[in-house]
Amino acid sequence: DAGVIQSPRHEVTEMGQEVTLRCKPISGHDYLFWYRQTMMRGLELLIYFNNNVPIDDSGMPEDRFSAKMPNASFSTLKIQPSEPRDSAVYFCASRAPRQGENTIYFGEGSWLTVV
Amino acid sequence: SQQGEEDPQALSIQEGENATMNCSYKTSINNLQWYRQNSGRGLVHLILIRSNEREKHSGRLRVTLDTSKKSSSLLITASRAADTASYFCATDKGYSTLTFGKGTMLLVSP
């Protein structure tokens, strides 16, 4: 089975540019999570969806960040405009319908550098 | 906010030795999970221990959970160079999400 697929794997962009990160969750999973990882703050939950509906976006740092999930197999995280402090690894993860255990499957991450 | 805090932040050992990592958390949990992250890769689930369990084994991994002390430990026995990675604990409080600690970086030297 294919795991969580993220693109791009690496992106270098200039400050002020728009960045769009993409994610395809594991088929059949109905939860999708976006995390950000930095050395200073560790792994932070930005937003998560259930059945394509955003449930909690309290971790989204600013209005410059937005996320969508138009269907069960695709989600985007957009940063506009990007700033150097947005440089981080962004992980998408998904989870199967809740059955008592809450194991999350991660993609390989999108490494973002804003210069 | 961080729920789990791993200790130590970094650990360096020789192949064949055992590696022990600890995790402390603050509130009641349904279960606690350990994940592994190789350099440049995503996190991978290793093992889950439920709040009513005290110990669990999987291959060379042994996890303990002490809910009275709100702590867990991950023991990797007979470590190998391939075990070099960061290890994270994650707590499930019964909601839909997991909260991760900052991880322990393990270096196993040949």
| B6-65 pLDDT per residue, tens | 889 999 999 999 999 999 999 888 899 999 999 999 999 999 999 999 999 999 999 999
Residues 45-84 on B with a CB inside 8 Å of A are 45, 48
CA distance B100 to chain A (A): 6
- The secondary structure of chain B as a DSSP string is ----EEE-SEEEEETTS-EEEEEE-SS--SEEEEEEE-TTS-EEEEEEEETT-SEEEETTEEEEEETTTTEEEEEE-S--GGG-EEEEEEEE-SSS-EEE---EEEEEE-
CB contacts < 8 Å between A and B, how many? Answer: 52
List own/partner pairs for B53-57 with CB under 8 A and 24 or more apart. none
Q: Kindly tell me if the per-residue pLDDT of B2 is higher than 70.
A: no
Token output for A3: 């795991």
Answer whether B75's CB lies under 8 Å from B19's CB: yes
The model's pLDDT over A3-29, given as tens digits with 9 standing for 90+, comes to: 999 999 999 999 999 999 999 999 999
B32 or B2, greater pLDDT: B32
- Which among A4, A33, A105 is the nearest to B97, CB-wise? A33
CA distance A14 to chain B (A): 22
